[in-house]
Structure 1
Amino acid sequence: MATSSSSRTIWKGAISFGLVHIPVALHSATIEHGIDFDWLDKRSMDPVGYKRINKKTGKEIDKDNIIKGIQVEDGQYVVLTDEEIKAAYPRATQTIEIEAFVPMNELPFVYLDRPYYLAPVNKGEKVYALLRETLLKTGRAGIARVVIQTKQHLAALVPSGPALILNLLRWGESVRTWDQLDLPAPGTKAAGLKENELKMAEQLVDDMTAHWDPEKFHDTFTEEVMKLVNKKIDAGDTERVIKPEAAEEAVAPSNIVDLTELLQRSLRGGKKAERAPAKRKPAAKRKAA
């Protein structure tokens, strides 16, 4: 079944561009929706879990005897310790560091992975709105890196209505190219399209055009299964299964301060100036001046 919506804060930090910091909180923008079929023992209605099995012997293996390895060739593995893996984790920061701004129409949909809402905190409303309206006016998205739960992500910061959306992106090496696909040549002439065909297709698109309304589209499979489930509930056809409760995830603290006044210094190259402070003049020269 679908999980309920939650406004619980997942992460706290700040958007950073130039010398400006915008304190924000990260919230999930999606709900896991669908049918979750659990495995049950039909003899006792007990939950059925997964075992760690040695694929060669078929015997169950204890967790303490499991190590992690990466296959580099057929049957050849490089073994890494937990300490080595931990050392490779990206440094945990509380900053969404914008590295560049790109036109939104240049960001292919295939790179979009998972969206999150960003909400201002600690009196960051004004500078939050400043970035949102600037992105809307310029038609750009901020490309940034962010670390969430020890994992580094590439992300796009895009405006949507009153909100800023942090959409995690797939890395370039995770996206396949279309070079090996047999696709029609770009352009109407190269594809062999006739003018009357284009006109009729445009007319059909115009006739079917409507404003986006997600309420008009439903997961019909889930609806049909839930109708069956509710029918069985009404008939008293249910079984009692006791499951352990999941632990609540900890939320990282935040000590980010609003630095709106540094916007003008960022435009003047204040970031470089801050890294290399000017040397003080000798006392005699200062007096003469």
Structure 2
Amino acid sequence: MASPIWTGIVSFGLVSLPVALYTATDSHTIRFHQLQRGTADRIRNRRVNERTGDEVDLDEIVKGYDTGSEYVVVEPEELDDIAPGRSRTLEVSEFVDLDTVEPVFFDKTYYLGPRGEQYGKVYALLQRALEESDKAGIATFVMRGREYLVALKAEDGLLTLHTLHWADEIRDPHQEVPDLPGRTEPTPAEVKMAHQLIDTLTTDWDPEDFHDTFREKVEALIQAKAAGEAVEKAEPAAQPTGVVDLMEALRASVERARSPKDTGEKAGTSEKAGTSEKTGHGKKPAAKKRTKSSDVESLRSLTKTELYEKAAKAGVKGRSGMTHNQLADALAKDS
């Protein structure tokens, strides 16, 4: 059972709910140690007094703000003394429609639970009211010496807390991003084809379809180097689509992304309109394709781009997150 990283009280109106905050996500990033090249010697980061060169213990370190002429030293307890609500109150000041909070404001997600069974009814009431109204409570609170702006939401039968960026932390894209299109307008045909491509690739969101393929590649790289084996290199990066061939690229993308359903309907229509081979018992059934182990090897000899095109035509689910060999195996099973 996880330990809470913060405990306090959620208040809305005159209602108060003691809660505990829990981390909602894990990071699976592969972490490397720093070594001196050509040796197995670890490189260590130390907290060192820049004047004396002596290492300083963590409990001897305080916060200091540089005013230009001197440092103003601030102790941890002094920050707690001035914290809004004494760092233990999460006061909901307003409720807003969820779709009015732009995605760029969202930062991290936490789970919020009641701090004791006796508060279950108040917790369930707030969770249900937020879920049925499709609204989020906007609040501020202090955790670990920092004030947070948060959105309190109801998701899958529990309350979640999402930290938000402050308004002045959001950068203006028109000042940050060069070469944004001005008066350049795509043609109606290009827009129509782009809509068709989006419709063809539209599916139900399932996060299980995606996984960290780069981490898998790093793990494979480490294993291969440890075993003295060759390392499989990634496919070359895609080339930019030029203005002249944009329409052709869109058309080819739609063709490649056609679903098996579309393909099946067209095949069925063709059979109905054309001649049907019949035996004495009716239509001749189509021969069922069988896959052999040699088929897998044949597929693995193709490039990842070629495999992806085949997977798109076959409607292989989760293909965008698959490695080269995973695509080959999935195609072999699907055939």
Q: Distance in 2 between matches of 1:198 and 1:156?
A: 36
Which residue in 2 is equivalent to 1:121? Answer: 115
Q: 1:86, CA displacement in angstroms?
A: 4.3
For the 8 Å contact 2:10–2:90, the answer to whether it is kept is yes
Q: Which has the higher contact order (CA 8 A, sep 6+)?
A: 1
Aligned ranges 1:125-164 → 2 under 5 Å: 125-164=120-159
Which residue in 1 is equivalent to 2:21? Answer: 26
* Change over 3 Å in CA distance of 1:11–1:52 after alignment to 2: closer
Deviation string for 1:130-150 (max 9, x for gaps)?
A: 222222232221111122223
* Change over 3 Å in CA distance of 1:151–1:129 after alignment to 2: same
Q: Distance in 1 between matches of 2:195 and 2:125?
A: 38
Which residue in 2 is equivalent to 1:105? Answer: 99
* Change over 3 Å in CA distance of 1:136–1:203 after alignment to 2: farther
- Which one has the largest radius of gyration? 2
Q: TM-score, normalised by structure 2?
A: 0.56
Q: Distance in 2 between matches of 1:224 and 1:69?
A: 43
SS in 1 for 2:173: coil
Which residue in 2 is equivalent to 1:257? Answer: none
Matched, 1:87 2:82: no
**Aligned positions, number:** 220
* Change over 3 Å in CA distance of 1:30–1:197 after alignment to 2: same
Deviation string for 1:175-227 (max 9, x for gaps)?
A: 21224245446xxxx76354443332222212111222222222222112223
* Change over 3 Å in CA distance of 1:38–1:143 after alignment to 2: same
Name the amino acid aligned to 1:221.
F
Name the amino acid aligned to 1:130.
L
Q: TM-score, normalised by structure 1?
A: 0.64
Name the amino acid aligned to 1:104.
L
Question: What percentage of aligned pairs have identical amino acids?
Answer: 37
* Change over 3 Å in CA distance of 1:66–1:211 after alignment to 2: same
Aligned ranges 1:202-281 → 2 under 5 Å: 202-230=195-223
RMSD between aligned residues: 3.3
Q: Distance in 1 between matches of 2:188 and 2:126?
A: 44
Q: Distance in 2 between matches of 1:230 and 1:52?
A: 34
> Which residue among 31, 39, 49 is the counterpart of 1:36?
31
* Change over 3 Å in CA distance of 1:234–1:15 after alignment to 2: farther
Name the amino acid aligned to 1:215.
E
Gaps of 5+ in 1: 1-5, 236-289
Q: Distance in 2 between matches of 1:71 and 1:81?
A: 9
Gaps of 5+ in 2: 229-335
Q: 1:30, CA displacement in angstroms?
A: 0.9
